[in-house]
């Protein structure tokens, strides 16, 4: 039998090439590594080279580390590769990550990058303030910029390069946002920052009137109590807060917010004492929370029942801590009244009694959802296979046959 050789269509080949680089998992190709994609793809054969060089979208996502150009001779090579990469990106929007500093030998490279600023769509900067300030000429020439990420650890300098970005909606800043950068705050819908005092973030949030998603990676302790009145963020739907250390507590921030549109809340705190603040926020906001994720260095006890009592629309609950108490399991099984009656997915990353968890699943799972409080359909638990009790494993297999999903997490 003769085998007919059918070439891979160019369109399919291009799609395959798109998944050959780090950007397929959220990272960017290193534009200076010619032994990696997309450079190396163009050195396999003539057809691959033609395909790669004629596909600008393969050249529109890359990162550049300026620390590699420590001498003028090295910077010339970096400049040539950078210019070639930019040329091959054609007229496509560019996603760019820049590492390094504002050394004199890097100036021609920076100018080459800035000459394409009108095509920047996603910009990530990992450098010092002097480098970021050197980007001032791009002000008014970043019409496509939608996402901005700036990381630096030196003294704050007021930066205005991104003040005029008509399509900027997502900003990530790793430092004091309000005092260090000028952004079109009112048009932002997603905002993430870190190492921020409560007073500072409250000042910033008053300008973020259209915010939909807020992520706070750290909350620093305050020198004095915050005395401002609670205010509304009318469009905020997703809030994520991480407060590490015993002196860091997100309660001060939560007590100053009213979030009527909130549907997804994630809080990483030190102890169970955060629960009264969560209950107050939910009751004050009159929001219909659908997803709640709590991570604490403590035991989940009956204290969380008040939070769950304020969330009748909750469908997803994730608890990460030291242990889930038997008292909490008993309260979740109670029908007077049913806590979180619509709960469909439960994730536990903590120690727990397998006997009580089995009773909870039995009480809240029904194949046809015919009864209130029996909507549970999915369970994810952090448990070593070696610790599985035989009675628990056998019963979970029975539930799985009836359509219940069980997953063991590492």
**pLDDT at 298 (0 to 100):** 87
**Secondary structure string (H, E, C) spanning the chain:** CCCCCCCCCHHHHHHHHHCCCHHHHCCCEECCCCCCCCCHHHHCCHHHHHHHHCCHHHHCEEEEEHHHCCCHHHHHHHHHHHHHHHHHCCCCCEEEEEEECCCHHHHHHHHHHHCCHHHEEEEEEEECHHHHHCCHHHCCCCCCCCEEEEECCCCCCCECCCCCCCCCCEEEECCCHHHHECCCHHHCCEEEECCEEHHHHHHHHCCCCCCCEEEECCEECCCCCCCCCCEECCCCCEEEEECCCCCCCCHHHHCCEECCCCCEEEEEECCHHHHHHHHHHHHHHCCCCCEEEEEECCEECHHHHHHHHCCCCCCEEEEEEEEECHHHHHHHHCCCCCCCCCCCEEEEEEECCHHHHHHHHHHHECCCCCCCCCECCEEEEECCHHHCCHHHHHHHHHHHHCCCEEEEEC
Q: Are 288 and 261 in contact (CB under 8 A)?
A: no
**For residue 371, what pLDDT band results from cuts at 50, 70 and 90?**
low
Average pLDDT over residues 47-76: 82
> In this predicted structure, what is the pLDDT of residue 120?
95
> Other CB atoms closer than 10 Å to residue 177's CB: what's the count?
25
Task: Return the half-sphere exposure (C-beta side, CA atoms, 13 A cut-off) of residue 187.
Answer: 14
| Pairwise CA distance, residues 259 & 240, whole Å | 13
Q: What percent of the chain has a predicted confidence (pLDDT) above 90? A: 39
Contact (Cβ atoms closer than 8 angstroms) between residue 220 and residue 193? no
- Quick check: 236 pLDDT over 90? yes
Predicted pLDDT of residue 187 = 95
How distant, in Å, are the alpha carbons of 99, 106, 360 from that of 69?
11, 7, 61
pLDDT tens-digit map of 6-27: 677 878 888 888 777 655 444 5
Contacts of 315 by beta carbon, 8 Å cutoff, 6+ apart: 290, 291, 342, 343, 344, 345, 375
Find, among 346, 363, 365, 356, the residue nearest to 391 by Cα: 356
Give the Cα separation of 391 and 396 in Å (integer). 9
86-99 pLDDT, tens digit each: 999 889 999 999 88
pLDDT tens for residues 65-83? 887 766 777 778 888 888 8
Question: At residue 191, does pLDDT exceed 90?
Answer: yes
> How high is the pLDDT of residue 24?
44
Structure tokens at 77: 């090579």
| Size of the chain in residues | 410
Q: CA–CA separation, 298 vs 2, rounded Å?
A: 69
pTM, entire model: 0.86
Structure tokens at 283: 């009751």
pLDDT of the residue at 334: 87
């Amino acid at each position: 039998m003769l085998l007919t050789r059918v070439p891979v269509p160019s369109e399919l080949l291009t799609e395959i090439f798109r998944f050959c680089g780090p950007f397929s998992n959220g990272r960017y190709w290193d534009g200076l590594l010619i032994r990696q994609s997309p450079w190396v793809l163009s050195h396999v054969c003539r057809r691959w080279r033609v395909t790669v060089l004629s596909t600008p979208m393969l050249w529109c996502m890359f990162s550049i580390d300026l620390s590699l150009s420590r001498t003028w001779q090295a910077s010339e090579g970096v400049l040539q590769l950078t210019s070639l990469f930019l040329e091959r990106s054609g007229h496509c929007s560019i996603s760019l990550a820049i590492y390094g500093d504002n050394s004199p030998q890097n100036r021609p490279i920076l100018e080459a990058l800035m000459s394409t600023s009108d095509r920047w769509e996603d910009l990530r900067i990992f450098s010092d303030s002097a480098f970021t300030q050197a980007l001032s000429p791009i002000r008014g020439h970043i019409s496509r910029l939608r996402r901005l990420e700036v990381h630096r650890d030196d003294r704050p300098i007021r930066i205005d390069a991104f003040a005029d970005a008509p399509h900027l909606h997502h900003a990530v800043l790793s430092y004091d946002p309000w005092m260090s950068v000028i952004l079109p705050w009112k048009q932002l819908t997603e905002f993430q920052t870190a190492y921020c005092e409560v007073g500072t973030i409250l000042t910033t949030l008053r300008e973020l009137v259209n915010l939909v998603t807020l992520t706070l990676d750290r909350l620093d302790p305050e020198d004095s109590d915050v005395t401002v009145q609670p205010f509304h963020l009318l469009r905020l739907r997703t809030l994520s807060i991480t407060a590490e250390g015993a002196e860091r507590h997100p309660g001060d921030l939560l007590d100053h917010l009213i979030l009527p549109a909130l549907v997804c809340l994630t809080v990483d705190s030190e102890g169970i004492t955060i629960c009264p603040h969560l209950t107050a926020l939910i009751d004050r906001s009159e929001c219909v929370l659908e997803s709640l994720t709590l991570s604490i260095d403590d035991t989940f006890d009956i204290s969380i029942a008040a939070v769950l009592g304020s969330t009748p629309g909750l469908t997803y609950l994730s608890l990460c801590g030291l242990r889930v108490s038997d008292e909490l399991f008993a309260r979740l099984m109670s029908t007077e009244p049913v806590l979180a009656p619509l709960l469909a997915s439960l994730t536990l990353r903590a120690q727990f009694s397998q006997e009580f968890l089995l009773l909870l699943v039995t009480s809240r799972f029904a194949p046809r959802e015919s009864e209130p409080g029996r909507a549970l359909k999915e369970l994810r638990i952090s448990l070593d296979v070696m610790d599985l009790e035989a009675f628990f494993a056998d019963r979970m297999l029975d539930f799985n046959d009836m359509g219940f999903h069980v997953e063991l997490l590492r």
